Amino acid sequence: DAEITQSPRHKITETGRQVTLACHQTWNHNNMFWYRQDLGHGLRLIHYSYGVQDTNKGEVSDGYSVSRSNTEDLPLTLESAASSQTSVYFCASSPGHQSFYEQYFGPGTRLTVT
Amino acid sequence: AQSVTQLGSHVSVSEGALVLLRCNYSSSVPPYLFWYVQYPNQGLQLLLKYTSAATLVKGINGFEAEFKKSETSFHLTKPSAHMSDAAEYFCAVSRLSGGYQKVTFGTGTKLQVIP
């Protein structure tokens, strides 16, 4: 069965370190997204990609970067981790550019920055 | 521009009682609307979606939602709550912008089911 996986599921890191969160999907979807989930804010879009070599900034992109070298993977990098980036991170994918497509979510990565 | 408002960050119902979770949207074009459910320590999964085929949409686990254009609402209901319905629910709106899909999520409603 096709799926979307995230690793690690839990991560503790120190302020200032570079951290990369992995996202891998076997749906062969063009669109991939990274969100962070915080109490009171729901889901906020960090970065997204509509295909290989395409990346775009979302509403809370400062301090984060992504790259899309293939269809399956969209790793999220925190260049220099800050305590404000302690959150739960979700990766999602969708098939294409039509509005009626739902998103398929990974299980999430809980990141703690100390 | 588009936005989603979910009224009530927490809703409590008794087991067997009606579940009503409210969602109002704002969109400059006809929207596609979704309800997602998130169980503890899991990702979001689709409950149901409105794609203009029918205003009353039935989803999984006995949930349904009605699209009311005049009220710009897409409230989620279930006639009888079950303990397993305890979760967080997110409403989302999707539209095309510049040829690409743009999705906006609400802030979520946490449903507590009291035995």
Please state, in angstroms and rounded to a whole number, the distance separating the CA atoms of residues B90 and A67.
28
Q: Is the pLDDT of residue A97 over 80?
A: no
Nearest by CB: B32 against A92, A99, A108: A99
Percent of chain B with pLDDT strictly greater than 70: 99
Alpha helices in chain B (DSSP H): none
HSE of B50, CA atoms in CB hemisphere, 13 A: 30
What is chain B's percent helix, strand, coil content, to nearest 5? Answer: 5, 60, 35
Which of A5, A21, A43, A50 to mutate against chain B (most B CBs within 10 Å)? Answer: A43
Q: Which residues of A are less than 8 Å from B106 in CB distance?
A: 42
Q: Inspect the interface and report whether the beta carbons of A102 and B46 lie closer than 8 Å.
A: yes
List, for residues B82-91, the tens digit of each pLDDT value.
Answer: 999 999 999 9
Task: Give the model's confidence band at B98: pLDDT under 50 very low, under 70 low, under 90 confident, else very high.
Answer: confident
What is the C-alpha radius of gyration for chain A, rounded to an integer number of angstroms?
13
Mean pLDDT score of chain A: 94
Give the whole-number percent of chain B exceeding pLDDT 90: 73
Residues 32-71 of B with CB under 8 A from A: 32, 34, 36, 41-46, 49, 51
pLDDT tens for A1-52 read 889 999 999 999 999 999 999 999 999 999 999 999 998 888 999 999 999 9
Which pLDDT tens digit goes with each residue over B39-84?
998 999 999 999 877 889 999 999 999 999 899 999 999 999 999 9
Read off the tokens for A24.
């891998």
Best-predicted range by mean pLDDT (A1-5, A87-91, B51-55, B100-104)? A87-91
Task: Report pLDDT for B73.
Answer: 94
